[in-house]
Structure 1
Amino acid sequence: MSRIWRAVAWDVQAVWNSARRAVTAPGPERDTTVQSLKAAGAGVLAWALAGWWWSAPMALLAPWTALFIVQSTVYRSVHSALQQFAVVVTGTLLAAGGSMLTGNNSLAAMAIVLPATVLLSGYARFGTQGVYAPTAALFVLAYGTYTPLDIVHRLFETVLGAVIGIVVNAAVLPPVHGRDVRHLRARLAQESADLLYAVADGVEEGFDKERAATWHDRAQRLTDLVTDLRTARRWSHESYRLNPGRKLRRSEPLLPSSDWDFAWDRITDQIRQTLRTLAETSQGRPALTDVPDEAREIGTELLRAAGDVCAQDDYAGALAVRESARVPGAAAGCADRAADRHAALHRAQEAHGRLARLLTDGRHQVTPALGALTADTQRLLGDLAVVADGRPSGGAEDEESRQEN
């Protein structure tokens, strides 16, 4: 019993924390609260027009539609409205046809119509709105209202609710999603740096197979972050489509160019390949474990410097001119970070040069592990050079022009 009470107390505390964050700081909790209140407001407004002012016979359909049309983006609201209208038309006409075919026998009509509408609800073109096909059919069959005038009323009230939902979502704090892009972009750089620091410390101290496997798992999660970043960017781009509120904003949120996604995709992949090579050196096979001690010392220095490049990454550096107009001293701060990135990259490249010279040094045996580690880190530094320059191909201006279009 005490376990149940602890679970209830935990849920209550979680709800309270979410409510507090929704009030005190911007974030997903506040976004959810705003969208929920907008949906409720759209439903109330639709009922006021259809039920209270107009006294429509099917007034329930207007607020019912408006509630579900307030989506997370204006574009999605319009898209959902078109889907829902098609679904309601389909469900209503099938139900009316079934009622006329069975002589207004609701049980027999349901036996004919509901299997067809439930199957239609899974049609990909209807998306998440497909579930309303059997719901619309049930409204018709349960109330026995399928005359031409009743059908026109149903469709008109559905359109009324959809229009109200779209207008409310577009006119009242229209949602723009860019926070996840900025958060994931910063998190990707920081977690890459943290992993490279951890590996550098491990190479210096010595590591076993389990520790190397943990590094490789963390590297795999970095590639998952890149996937999340791409998903968040698609969501951000969709939020700008058909969004009138964007033109009313005094300033746009700074978003890293989508060209960075490809750059970090390559960087995280090279980190994963490098750590895979290191993991193989811990497997006890002589051909893989024979790495000179000097190579381990150089590798520690190289990886720590590569981590510094990631840690000093700042996508706003690519937008320094634009940012300096908003925040005094921003351009100078970006310039300092750029200098630190270049210095860290230079240290890493110098260390890699010493590592490569071991391959031709007759005092050391050339092993597959040493050759693979040299090749992997060379590719990693080549991709990190893009970050150190602060501007991938395409540049931030391309991102802004894409958003404008």
Structure 2
Amino acid sequence: MEWTGWTTGVARRHGRAAVEAVRRAWSEPGRERDLAAQAGKAALAACLAWAVAGWWLQAPVAFVAPWVAVVLVESTVYRSLAHGLQQVAAIAVGTVVATAVAMVLDSTMATMVVVLPAVLLLAQWQRLGSQGIYAATGALFVLTDGPVTLTTSGARIAEAVFGAVVGILVNALIRPPLYLRDTRAALKDAAREAREILEAVADGLGEGEWNGHAAGDLHERALRLGRLIEQARSAIGWSRESMRGNHRGRGAGAVSPPGKAYDDALAVLDQVAVHTAGVTRTVLEIASHQDSAARPDPRITRPYAEFLRHTGRAIGLYGETRFAGAGTGPAADGPLREAVEELRRCLDELHRRLPGTVRDDPDALATHGALLAQARRLADQLVQD
């Protein structure tokens, strides 16, 4: 009964997730709609290839055309073209080698023993990239699909070329994929997470709480922030690749690829991630210290907490203004500039309070100095942008 209940629960959760994905694909632009569009395009490419090769021309190995077409409706137009060339080359090489050896040895088993190790080694050739495995696939098609003849092998290569052309054209001409929305979402997610971490640290400092467990959780989140930024960097690469050979990037209403502003944003968020991890590490070390005398004086932790709140607000505004897409102008930078000015004022306040709060104690001096150093680095990074 327990196993049945667990299975039912899992099925319900997956069912709800599937229904929600369908709802989002139907109601709004997003990843789900993009995936549905790519699936429909792959099916269309396969149908077109089969309609011409199998139904109209009645080619001897017509199945190769839709098979190649469906796998070449790739995630970007550029990738479809590059992988198409590599895949056709790999299939052609495997087909030619298998045909030549089979006609000499006149034995399918002996030909497999000779050909498969060779083509599998050839699959590692750098110029074939990830498509090298199709050399072995092409060879197996030759050796397992009836008598080996030059006519059939030539038709197989021709069908592969035709299928590749169909797949590439469908991907390039019908709603070619773009990933700018994913890029902006990834950057905004990283900025939002940084803001939430800093505000949580500020709340703890402002209330004078030094909970080691809570500080450890925040430090773990700060370390994971770096992975969010790596996802954003990957999304920018996908966006730029998706614009290559994409007609949606030209003409009226075209979308611009990520430019230098996105690279600058990544540099800022990289530094924010480093310094957020530094802040949370410092707080974790203080919270874990058994000697309460080494903990910062409330006269400096309160303005420092205020500084972190302003820093979090500035980072949040940075994400909203830099990655909002079209329609944002210079006026949108006003709140961000005001937030940066608040950072400067808070930092000046920290400098004024530090001399009066640090006692003649090396541990206290080190603690206050570490907090102030992190504050200056965070402020400088946002101010210079």
| TM-score normalised by the chain length of structure 1 | 0.85
Does 2:221 correspond to 1:223? no
SS of residue matched to 1:176: coil
Candidates 16, 26, 32, aligned match of 1:29 = 32
Does 2:241 match 1:238? yes
CA distance in 2, matches of 1:235, 1:15: 26
Name 2:167's counterpart in structure 1.
165
1:36-47 superposed matches below 5 A: 36-47=39-50
Structure 1 stretch displaced more, 149-158 or 112-121: 112-121
Partner of 1:327: none
Paired AA for residue 210 in structure 2: F
C-alpha spacing 1:288/1:135, structure 2 compared with 1 (3 Å):
farther
Quick one: distance in 2 between partners of 1:123 and 1:190?
43
- The equivalences for 1:3-402 within 5 A come to 3-103=6-106, 105-205=107-207, 206-248=209-251, 250-252=253-255, 256-284=261-289, 286=291, 289-314=294-319, 316=321, 323=327, 332=331, 334-358=332-356, 367-386=365-384, 392=385
**What's the offset of the Cα at 1:207?**
1.6
Contact 1:254–1:316 (CA under 8 A) maintained in structure 2: no
What is the DSSP-based 3-state SS (H/G/I as helix, E as strand, rest coil) of the residue aligned with 1:313? helix
Structure 1 distance, partners of 2:80, 2:322, is 35
> Structure 2, unaligned stretches of length 5 or more?
none
**How far does residue 110 in structure 1 lie from its aligned partner after superposition?**
1.8
Distance 2:356 2:69 in 1: 70
Aligned residue type for 2:159:
E
Deviates more, 1:78-87 or 1:302-311: 302-311
Distance 1:166 1:232, change over 3 A: same
**Corresponding residue of 1:398:** none
Whole-Å separation in 2 of the counterparts to 1:11 and 1:287:
49
The letter of the residue matching 1:276 is R
**Residue 274 of structure 1: how far off its partner (Å):** 1.8
Residues 99, 150 of structure 2: 8 Å contact kept: no
**SS of structure 1 residue aligned to 2:250:** helix
- Which string of whole-angstrom CA distances, capped at 9 and with x for unpartnered residues, describes residues 379-401 of structure 1? 11111213xxxxx4xxxxxxxxx
Q: What CA deviation, in whole Å up to 9, does each residue of 1:210-247 have, x standing for no partner?
A: 22211111111111111111111001100011112321
Question: What CA distance in whole angstroms lies between the structure 2 residues aligned with 1:340 and 1:37?
Answer: 48
**CA distance, structure 1, for counterparts of residue 274 and residue 16 of structure 2:** 40
Question: Deviation per CA, 1:335-378, whole angstroms, max 9, x where unpaired?
Answer: 4423432343234323332344447x678875211112111211
2: CA distance, partners of 1:368 / 1:287: 14
Cα root mean square deviation, aligned: 2.5
Q: Distance in 1 between matches of 2:346 and 2:142?
A: 72
Sequence identity of aligned pairs in percent? 33
Structure 1 contact 288–369 (Cα < 8 Å) conserved: no
Residue 8 of structure 1 and its aligned partner are, at CA, apart by: 2.3
Q: CA deviation at 1:177?
A: 0.9
TM-score (norm 2): 0.90
Unaligned runs of 5+ in 1: 325-329, 387-391, 393-405
Matched letter for residue 195 of structure 1: I
CA distance in structure 1 between the partners assigned to 2:131 and 2:101 by the alignment:
22
Query: Residue 190 of structure 2 contacts residue 229 of structure 2 at CA under 8 Å; is this kept in 1?
Result: yes
Structure 1 residues 369 and 132: CA distance shift in structure 2, 3 A? same
Quickly say closer, same or farther: Cα 1:297–1:9, change in 2 above 3 A: closer
8 Å contact from structure 1 (residues 295, 355) kept in 2: yes
Quick one: structure 1 residues 273 and 355, their matched pair in 2 at CA, closer, same or farther if it must change by over 3 Å?
Answer: farther
SS in 1 for 2:287: coil
Q: What's the secondary structure of 1:312's corresponding residue?
A: helix
Aligned pairs, how many? 378
One-letter amino acid of the counterpart of residue 92, structure 1: T
Per mean C-alpha deviation after superposition, the further-off stretch among 375-384 and 344-353 is 344-353
Q: Contact between 1:170 and 1:245, CA under 8 Å: does it hold in 2?
A: no
C-alpha contact (below 8 Å) 2:359/2:365 kept by paired residues = no
Shift of 1:290: 4.2
Shift of 1:253: 6.2
User: Judging changes above 3 Å, is the alpha-carbon distance between structure 1 residues 288 and 84 closer, same or farther for their aligned structure 2 residues?
Assistant: farther
